[in-house]
Structure 1
């Protein structure tokens, strides 16, 4: 039996790819999709747009397009998943959708971006308005292996293990918290700028929330910075201007294998457990309560099931599990 792609939830811009703009309360199969579902390699969602990558390196997009975030060279919303033909010469490896922009990593390690650049989130300082087709971020000279998009900032992990950040989305909160102290350059940069404080580690993956950033090192440790309004950074500070390591005892001293971020909560996977913490008003931490979790907690309801894939939305979490027999 061939796999099917299902979509549900908010749909006011056609971001579900179902051909209309009505919200969908129960998962509905996409019947009119121009790529084969068995070819789908990843799924990503932003403020009001969605993106699917295929195993052959194509990018399909739909939804909100007022700022050109779909990369289709126009600003009309798109109701069905549509091939981004501007990328026909590239093999797309990963896509990250922000609020009103899109970051695209291609096989050669280059990064392209499209959409709104009002906060410098495209990493293209030469563009003041909208970018309607994906453009290469020229100042990224090193090969990139992983990208992430927050509300109005973006991250890239390079082949050598350093992290670059751009977009000023976190700057106003940083200024309020800093009480006049100078901010690190990467919090106000409009093109890729190295994140200070990660010199002694090698980062392999990045994640981003609305106003925070996360790095996962090759040794399985997490470093976090940005807003801690909901306890998502496991700190007593309201804002962390530089990366801080989350103590390994928070994860039963297990190495972190992968990390995901919603707008204000995080989920991490170790060899044996799934942990979650941060904003929990809608129960997305999975601990049976709606109280914010200021320290990582095991998602006990998943038991001993092996999590194959995990995903986070603004205020929800998902896990594809395999239960041992």
Structure 2
């Protein structure tokens, strides 16, 4: 596997050897030996998760290895700060030994959450800045990894994990939902609460299986049902569930009546992706139904062919189409949507075709999107 990145890179979060933004896919670097600072462009593992904070990136592989790059002054990357501008393997030191294999990861704006699946239970380790309780502990700064106490509850595992800018939500193996961090906008299902420093149960009216987080909202889903937890003020309309998903229960709940690949979230938008369906002429029900903020082209045009893989970043979308092409749209100021931008630095009402270097042989098998960052996995 090879990983290519483009977009915001002021802290080296693209791991491409420097700290300049780029608008064309550039191959990422990985350390092979932290002592010698040797690097490689190939990774012999399948990347399953790309989690991006404001200025750092976490990669989780199928074997449980995690790599991190970017800002690390508060320890959020779980690695040494040298060598810089490359991906380094995460290894956490605890009182009982070293942990270097994980099952889930997520990233807040300035923090990281790592789930380690051990023989009888899961443990949740956190690192970084924690001003709003987004790491699930009380310390405002966690420069050495700590374990979130008494979580998950005994007999359960972490089945899904997501973070917004300052809140985090976990779905457990028994279908329960727990969250912590900033809560002022209702993103944790509570009203009149500014922050929640440790995990609390979030009540949802179905067996939960997945969760995604926007900047200040959460979408919990399971078995075709979903609920949006967010600000009743509804500035960007994320609570306005499209008519094709209205469940009859009212409020911000929805029911998806066909197989779908998953639900994604930008900072202010929601995207339901069904790779097996083609959209109708009106775009009401089809391969991609999206709603929310669209002042920068964050919602792809209805003419977008069916994506095989859909990735949604803070304010942009990257899609791998079924014909193997990669396209992007939305806010592209940092190069994360390619080079062809309008006067406001957006790709709106259209998409940009993103091409790998002409000299490269390989097939794009996965795409990712973060905070003004974009990613392409090539085999």
Q: Calculate the TM-score normalised by the size of structure 2.
A: 0.68
Cα shift at 1:114? 1.0
2:329 aligned with 1:318: no
CA shift for structure 1 position 78 = 3.9
Structure 1 135/281 Cα, relative in aligned 2: closer, same or farther at 3 Å? same
SS of 2:271's equivalent in the other structure is strand
C-alpha distance in 2 between matches for 1:193 and 1:51: 25
- State which of 225, 245, 248 in structure 1 corresponds to 2:229: 225
Q: CA deviation at 1:106?
A: 2.5
Question: 1:46-86: per-residue Cα shift (whole Å, max 9, x none)?
Answer: 11111111222111101112332112366x89411011121
Assess if the C-alpha contact under 8 Å between 2:17 and 2:29 holds in 1: no
SS in 2 for 1:193: strand
> For the residues of structure 2 that align with 1:123 and 1:114, how far apart are their CA atoms?
10
Could you tell me how far 1:230 is from its partner in structure 2? Answer: 1.0
SS class of match (2:76):
coil
Once the 2 structures are TM-superposed, how far is the Cα of residue 90 of structure 1 from its aligned partner?
4.6
Residues 1:160 and 2:165 are matched in the alignment = no
- Structure 2 residue runs of 5 or longer lacking an equivalent are 33-39, 243-249, 278-286, 325-379
RMSD: 2.7
Alpha-carbon shift at residue 194 of structure 1 (Å): 0.7
Shift of residue 42 of structure 1? Answer: 2.1
**What secondary structure sits across from 2:196 in the alignment?**
coil
Relative contact order, CA 8 A, sep 6+: which one is greater?
2
Partner-residue secondary structure (3-state), 1:214:
strand
Give matches, 1:1-325, under 5 Å. 3-34=1-32, 36-39=42-45, 40-72=47-79, 78-86=84-92, 88-108=98-118, 109-125=122-138, 127=139, 129-140=140-151, 141=153, 142-168=156-182, 170-171=183-184, 173=185, 183=191, 188-196=195-203, 198=204, 200-217=205-222, 219-227=223-231, 228-234=234-240, 244-248=251-255, 253-270=257-274, 271-272=276-277, 273-287=287-301, 299-302=302-305, 305=306, 307-323=307-323
Deviations 1:136-188 (A, max 9, x none): 212312421111110111000011111111002x41x459xxxxxx8266x63
Partner of 1:291: none
Structure whose CA Rg is larger: 2
Shift in CA distance, 33/213, structure 1 to aligned 2, threshold 3 Å: same
In structure 1, distance between residues paired with 2:198 and 2:83: 28
Give the Cα–Cα distance (whole angstroms) in 2 for the partners of residues 226 and 192 of structure 1. Answer: 18
